[in-house]
Structure 1
Amino acid sequence: MKNAYCLFVILTTLVNTNLAHAKSLLHLTYNEKNGSVTTQNKIDNTPFTVQHTNNPPERVPGVSGNAFRTDGYSTWITGAFNSPNLNAITLETWVALESYPSTEELNLKESSLLHQSSDNEGFNLAINTYGQWWLDININQQNFRVNAPENFPLYHWSHVAFTVNNGLVRLFLNGEIIAEKMTVNGNIQLAQNTKLVIGRALTPQISFNVFEVNAINAAYDETKINDKAKSTYELLGEYNKGKNTPWQVSLAVPTSRFEDDHLRPRYHAMPPANWTNEPHGLVAYQGKYHMFYQRTPNGPYKWMMHWGNMASEDFVNWTHLKDAFYPRVNTDKTLGLGSKGIWSGDVVIDKKGKAHAFYTSVNFDGVYDPGIAWASSSDPLLEEWTQHGGIIDKNTPNTGNITDFRDPYIWQEGKTWHMIIGSAEGNNGGVEYYTSTDINSGKWQRAENSFSSVAFSTMDIGSAIWEMPVFEYLGMHKGEKKYALIVSPIGGEMKKNQAPYVRSVYWTGTWKSNGKGRPGQFTPDYTTPKHLDIIHGHISPSVVRNSNNELVAIGIVDERSNAQFQNDLGWAHTFSLPRILRLLEDGQTIGQVPAPQLNSLRKNTQAYSESNLKVNGEHKLAESGNQLEMTLTLDANTQASEYGFLIATSPNKEEFTKVYYDGKNIVIDKLKSTLTQGLEESAIYKGDYDEEVFGKPEKFQVFIDHSIISVFINDKAVFANRIYPSRTDSTGLYLYSKGAETHFKNVEIHQLKSAN
């Protein structure tokens, strides 16, 4: 005991002696209030500048007081760090990393946690898009690199440091030496007239002349530099002070980031920030619905996609969870990990309650590029997965004339698992078809027969590939079980902003399978598909059965703006409202209504209502808003040539969007939807309306959520679209009739709350 005490005294004396001679050169605490454009070096009061292009400078709860939050693409800190060349140094900082930095998929560039480097001088604590990280440092006019042996931790407050003393360079993580290198004894050559930069790459990568794609998405706290090499004991002590700090509140996007954004939806599901694309893998698991989705967490651009993960009990209020998958380096043992990105797929639950994710992986090495990869999980939050790697490659023998495929969809029938994959088959789209009798084996057999009894070349509508296939039972009709095949044809003749539009289409039909390990076959009711939405704008629904066994679908309603616009906003794309899909009376058409859980968004106030309104021309309603639900019921026996409504209308009618029925088409007039120039769509768009199936429009249920609208007609037909009013007062609502009087029996408007 006496010897232990003596050792403690000796260590304490050595530490105190070392500290007594150490000189602090930098200390950034980031304790300023949220929105502050500067932070200060507490050692000499030198100001450091928060560089911010789009989003406001942000502070979040940190290890000690506040921390600095970078947005991943447009915020970082720079400041003068002038010091004579040093014989020894310690740099330390706390970092909570949400994601690894992005990069262009075909032009990989590294990033930096922080650096003071120029012309082979100074230091750079670097990290790449796979989480590999290292220190580059110049000593005695020579450059040295020290590599960390493991990837940098995600979703965790980490204490990272490096020291240099007498030529020995050490890299620390959480108080432990993880790598070291003996270099040369000499001066640490700092870069002259060069600023210290925190949160931005040493060599920024600008994509499409707009997006900076390799900055850092993280929170920083307690950044320090001094002129002595701290001991392991000291750095472990620093780590122990903050090791239990929760990361969740630090990495949550502050509400202030978008509070003044009059275009960002408030009750539609979407990521907390940055870029998204198709939702997929919508699945019920342990009492919650999980929705996975395409995500770039670092900015409003597409590169190096992840699988985001959100969960809900009601399809309306969502909790954001850790990303399930992100690009990884393939290994000799596990290929198909998505070194170029993780694309869409599906999640299913086996009878033992284990979740299985099947996703499209794209890779640099040509194997499983693209391919279908598999992972499994029993984690209650579906955050932790075991990745088994690729199981089906596009170039697998016996794939016929398949030139591309992606987006698997899986279901079980009896003991047989079925998988269809959107594919490019020769000059048209189609689906590949596989089966398995053991989902845990990773072994899938390509079916000897085509999934459809009708040739895909006959069913296709001029596309190059079908994406995001869905195959589901719809209901009974005249004693037959009816199914729907839903796909999203793209490429070829399909265009985003002109006909024929990229949009989801479907066929109803019958399905025959013996359920004993043999493939089945779908027989469509018709060759030319039907449009899932009357007007383009919504695409790629993901589906799940709710507690009533109803089929719930959520898709993507993508942007109709431009790259610079999205970069300025700091986000891109939103998901659709949840819809209930059902088979209509004709047995060949899908009907859609809003999920009833959306009623929970109605504010606890009396709904605005008017009744018995006879309109010829335009009638302004007394209620207005851009976050509401409006239901119009009317007498469809009108002689009017057009009837409908106007939304997002400015007081002087400079801006408005008009939606109406012209006797044949549902029309959205976006000629004056916005005063902003250069957006993708500013015209009149029409969609054929099947009055025989849907009935003449007599009910419009309209959801407005800032820049997105959804219009349900007669509880059967629907479309969703994007609008971008430039004015914050473009909130007026009008009824509309042309050519004759239309009797609007009732108007009911509910102002809606923002979802959680």
Structure 2
Amino acid sequence: MSLLYDLSLNEGKGSVTKERIRGNLLPIEYVFNHARYKESCSPRWVTSALEGYALDFDGYSTYIKDESIEVNGSLTIVTLIAPRCFEACHGEVSTTIIDQLDKAGKKGFALSLYQHGEVQFEIGNGNRIDTFRSNEQLELFKKSFITVTFNHETNWISIYINSKRVMCELIDGFENADIPLSIGLNNTPFEISDIFKGGMFSGLVDFIRIYDEAWLSEKIQNNFICIKDKLSLDFQDIDLDENKLLDDIHRPQYHAIPPQHWMNEPHAPFYYKGKYHLFYQKNATGPYFSNLHWGHWTSDDLVFWKNEKTALFPQRGELTPSGVWSGSAAIGPKSIPYLFYTSANLAKDYNQGVAIARPKNLDDIHLVDWEMDDQSTITQTDKQGMPSQFRDPFVWKDDKEEIWYLIIGGGMEDKGPTAWIYASTDCENWQFKGDFFTVDSEDFPYLGTNWELPVLLPVSDDKGNTKYVFLFMSYFNKEEKYQVDTYFYLGQFDKENLRFIPDSLEPQLLDYGKFKFSGPSGFVDPVTNKSIVFSILQGNRNEQEEYESGWAHNAGLPIELYLENNELRMKPIENLVALRNKVLVNERDKPLVQINEKLKEISGKMLEVIVEFDHTEKLVGFECKKDPKNQEKTSLLYEKEKKQVWIDRSKSFLGREGDIQGGILDIDEGFSAHIYIDHSAIECYLNNKKMISSRAYPTLKNSDDISLIGEKDIIIKSMKVFELKSIWKKED
């Protein structure tokens, strides 16, 4: 027996590894070897109890290429890996561990993981390629010892997981392929887009070795016995490294955000034993839309968040093979938290429904492990509108009775977008109660063909008057000229008939940022009894930029919704004052020219600005993300005569055309703005009546200045500027 290939991956640093048998020095491809938005760095190496180190493959940019290896006769492939994510959402595809398969010539071999963690081995003899898969699945976030053997004399293929044989089949020979050997990269990848390629391994690899004989079961068992006590793995080692991107010039630092990669709507907030929980749509394989899991954060105060283990992920079977989509949470009977998620099986016509997950350990205040049901709780019927448009359940408990309600978004052909309502006395069994609220598409074509993410929350004023706000996102099942966005109605919840009754037929935009504020979710905080809404603060970059940055999107700051003069009001939650690190400006009743002199000394990527103008008929506003030569800037402007407020991004980014985002702001008092700047994220709360969420990605490194807009003698009633701190701790 001899060792043909030995990739031990024990360097522990750098972007080069050595294959020990042939002595080849192999570059490790990695997006941040030559970074664009942060300091360049090598891929992450994780300490391993086995052989020193394991290499972290990020799932979209990390791979190794080598010269082809020739196998004359039998072979054994041995590897130790810890997967972070499986490729479940793109049909019958797999994630590559090692690939020297020539699909055109039908030669060679490839070892990979199939959709939900099944071990897959492909082998070709020049005439055909045979594909073999284990029925057993690897566990996410745990190390697994995988062995594949091919006996040249008997033509038997065997696959072992942790020394247990899980597959044994007879084949008709093997022929080498004269193509490069790839580690972590499929030699013939499927295309997710022009930029992103699928089928790349996400997780840790300790080693990959190939021998020129077929190991017997006893040898495999003995090898596993030698290492099985060294396979423990801290979750922080397998999770994406939250320190890797902390020096990115555009990545927010005091917003909730995954460690790396892509996220979509935050959802399912609840409070349990002193901890707030918030989940989000997560892709652990890269900064692009795919592989929908439920990421998880916890917090003591809705401000400082902790990344937790992925809570829910696609499962093999009929329920969620294609993804775990958005939903909500509720504290059910016996104070048990329930997660209600959209189950996705794209192989079906009616491919979405509602399923439940419960905590595995109710004594764990972080609730890191969840048990997912294998049966739907609610399924769409053929009388409930368009197939495949039935998602995003929102659940709340009645304030007086032991009854829970659930609404879910959809749409009806030739009628319009809708939400349906269900009721339950145990959070397990749900009764359909009909149409909760529907609008006519002919009257309101901009509201979409169907709705996503419906939310119903009570809002009250300081006199105890209460209404309900119904939030939703428009969605178009076919291409339309209208912008997808987040709208709301104020009205009443008719509990007797379980219907929503709006105060007016015309909805309003919640935010003027042209879809930057999206993916709404919310709850009534049991600590403060306030209605809190969470959102995505959408990015504004192309796929190449997101590839090079390694992240896409973040959560918006939590906002409080309340009632004033029978109108909806919004403001950032009070707890956000905990972010304040230093007072930079605190002035009252000064002319604008004096304030701007003060502001010349202020710059920063993480600021809170509160400004109140005196009564004025002139154009006023605020500039941020501005360089000293005024080449780049993003401007917030208000014109009282036109009752218009807007953000002007025409100069936000040198060399790129920007846009203007805004709408009506009708106020009698002076214009006031509460503004949060967090690197590329900008959130503006305007007289507590309207919001504009936006983005700016200046190209100049010194575009961090701020100033006020208006005539020099305009009186500024109040101006405060705070330096804010990061909620993420950078390792020394």
Please give the TM-score of this superposition, normalised by the length of structure 2.
0.88
Measured at CA, do residues 493 and 200 of structure 1 come closer, stay the same or move farther in structure 2, by a change above 3 Å?
A: closer
- Aligned counterpart, 2:191: 206
% identical aligned pairs: 26
Map 1:35-434; keep pairs closer than 5 Å: 36-53=14-31, 57-63=42-48, 64-83=51-70, 85-101=71-87, 104=90, 108-118=92-102, 119-138=105-124, 144-165=130-151, 166-167=153-154, 168-183=156-171, 189-192=175-178, 194-230=179-215, 231-253=219-241, 255-256=243-244, 258-330=245-317, 335=318, 337-366=319-348, 368-379=350-361, 380=364, 381-397=367-383, 399=384, 404-413=389-398, 414-425=401-412, 426-434=414-422
Assess if the C-alpha contact under 8 Å between 2:65 and 2:181 holds in 1. Answer: yes
Do structure 1's residue 690 and structure 2's residue 666 form an aligned pair? yes
- Aligned counterpart, 1:532: 510
Compute the displacement of 1:528 (Å).
1.0
CA-to-aligned-CA distance 1:190-238 (integer Å, 9 cap, x gap): 323x332111123212233221122111111122223344413332134
Compute the displacement of 1:417 (Å).
2.3
- Aligned counterpart, 1:17: none
Distance 1:220 1:612 in 2: 62
Distance 2:440 2:15 in 1: 61
- The alignment partner of 2:391 has SS state of strand
What amino acid sits opposite 1:431 in the alignment? A
Assess if the C-alpha contact under 8 Å between 2:78 and 2:210 holds in 1. Answer: yes
What amino acid sits opposite 1:701 in the alignment? H
More deviation, 425-434/723-732: 425-434
CA-to-aligned-CA distance 1:647-700 (integer Å, 9 cap, x gap): 00112211101112111111111110001437xxx12222211315xx431x32
CA-to-aligned-CA distance 1:714-744 (integer Å, 9 cap, x gap): 3454321111111221111111104x63222
CA-to-aligned-CA distance 1:310-356 (integer Å, 9 cap, x gap): 222222222223333333343xxxx4x23333322111120212232
Assess if the C-alpha contact under 8 Å between 2:619 and 2:639 holds in 1. Answer: yes
Distance 2:31 2:385 in 1: 50
Measured at CA, do residues 81 and 542 of structure 1 come closer, stay the same or move farther in structure 2, by a change above 3 Å?
A: same
What amino acid sits opposite 2:283 in the alignment? T
What amino acid sits opposite 1:360 in the alignment? T
Do structure 1's residue 548 and structure 2's residue 548 form an aligned pair? no
Distance 2:479 2:208 in 1: 52
Assess if the C-alpha contact under 8 Å between 2:350 and 2:387 holds in 1. Answer: no
Distance 2:542 2:441 in 1: 34
Map 1:457-496; keep pairs closer than 5 Å: 461-475=446-460, 480-491=465-476
More deviation, 683-692/664-673: 683-692
Compute the displacement of 1:177 (Å).
2.5
Measured at CA, do residues 45 and 233 of structure 1 come closer, stay the same or move farther in structure 2, by a change above 3 Å?
A: same
Measured at CA, do residues 79 and 155 of structure 1 come closer, stay the same or move farther in structure 2, by a change above 3 Å?
A: same
- The alignment partner of 1:451 has SS state of strand
- The alignment partner of 2:592 has SS state of strand
Selected match of 1:674 from 643, 653, 662: 653
Residue segments in structure 2 that go unaligned for 5+ positions in a row: 34-40
Selected match of 1:523 from 501, 508, 526: 501
- Aligned counterpart, 1:748: 720
Distance 1:140 1:508 in 2: 68
Distance 2:542 2:448 in 1: 24
Assess if the C-alpha contact under 8 Å between 1:463 and 1:493 holds in 2. Answer: no
Compute the displacement of 1:277 (Å).
1.3
CA-to-aligned-CA distance 1:492-527 (integer Å, 9 cap, x gap): 8997xx8x643222222222325xxxx423222222
Assess if the C-alpha contact under 8 Å between 1:355 and 1:378 holds in 2. Answer: no
Selected match of 1:722 from 695, 716, 721: 695
Distance 1:204 1:467 in 2: 32
Distance 2:678 2:138 in 1: 39
What amino acid sits opposite 1:87 in the alignment? G
More deviation, 232-241/345-354: 232-241
Distance 2:696 2:677 in 1: 10
Compute the displacement of 1:371 (Å).
2.6
Compute the displacement of 1:462 (Å).
4.2
- Aligned counterpart, 1:436: 424
Distance 2:142 2:175 in 1: 32
Measured at CA, do residues 672 and 467 of structure 1 come closer, stay the same or move farther in structure 2, by a change above 3 Å?
A: same
Distance 2:632 2:357 in 1: 49
Give the CA RMSD over aligned residues.
2.9
- The alignment partner of 1:25 has SS state of strand
- Aligned counterpart, 2:623: 646
Assess if the C-alpha contact under 8 Å between 2:106 and 2:125 holds in 1. Answer: no
- The alignment partner of 2:469 has SS state of strand
Distance 1:189 1:369 in 2: 42
Residue segments in structure 1 that go unaligned for 5+ positions in a row: 1-21
Measured at CA, do residues 613 and 212 of structure 1 come closer, stay the same or move farther in structure 2, by a change above 3 Å?
A: farther
Assess if the C-alpha contact under 8 Å between 2:454 and 2:471 holds in 1. Answer: yes
- Size of the alignment, in residue pairs? 699
- Aligned counterpart, 2:707: 734
Compute the displacement of 1:533 (Å).
2.1
Compute the displacement of 1:541 (Å).
2.0
CA-to-aligned-CA distance 1:403-454 (integer Å, 9 cap, x gap): 833211112221332221112133422211222333223x42233xx42498
What amino acid sits opposite 2:202 in the alignment? N
Compute the displacement of 1:388 (Å).
3.6
Measured at CA, do residues 316 and 31 of structure 1 come closer, stay the same or move farther in structure 2, by a change above 3 Å?
A: farther
What amino acid sits opposite 1:642 in the alignment? L
Assess if the C-alpha contact under 8 Å between 2:117 and 2:138 holds in 1. Answer: yes
Measured at CA, do residues 361 and 367 of structure 1 come closer, stay the same or move farther in structure 2, by a change above 3 Å?
A: farther
Measured at CA, do residues 474 and 190 of structure 1 come closer, stay the same or move farther in structure 2, by a change above 3 Å?
A: same
Assess if the C-alpha contact under 8 Å between 1:141 and 1:189 holds in 2. Answer: no
Distance 2:107 2:542 in 1: 40
What amino acid sits opposite 1:623 in the alignment? I
Compute the displacement of 1:400 (Å).
6.4
Compute the displacement of 1:477 (Å).
7.9
- Aligned counterpart, 2:568: 590
Measured at CA, do residues 453 and 200 of structure 1 come closer, stay the same or move farther in structure 2, by a change above 3 Å?
A: closer
Measured at CA, do residues 609 and 29 of structure 1 come closer, stay the same or move farther in structure 2, by a change above 3 Å?
A: farther
Assess if the C-alpha contact under 8 Å between 1:534 and 1:687 holds in 2. Answer: yes
Distance 2:478 2:713 in 1: 41
Do structure 1's residue 579 and structure 2's residue 559 form an aligned pair? yes
Assess if the C-alpha contact under 8 Å between 1:131 and 1:151 holds in 2. Answer: yes
Please give the TM-score of this superposition, normalised by the length of structure 1.
0.86
What amino acid sits opposite 2:253 in the alignment? R
What amino acid sits opposite 2:675 in the alignment? V
- Aligned counterpart, 1:19: none
Distance 1:454 1:696 in 2: 36
Distance 2:492 2:352 in 1: 31
Distance 2:655 2:550 in 1: 17
Distance 2:478 2:75 in 1: 61
Assess if the C-alpha contact under 8 Å between 1:116 and 1:191 holds in 2. Answer: yes
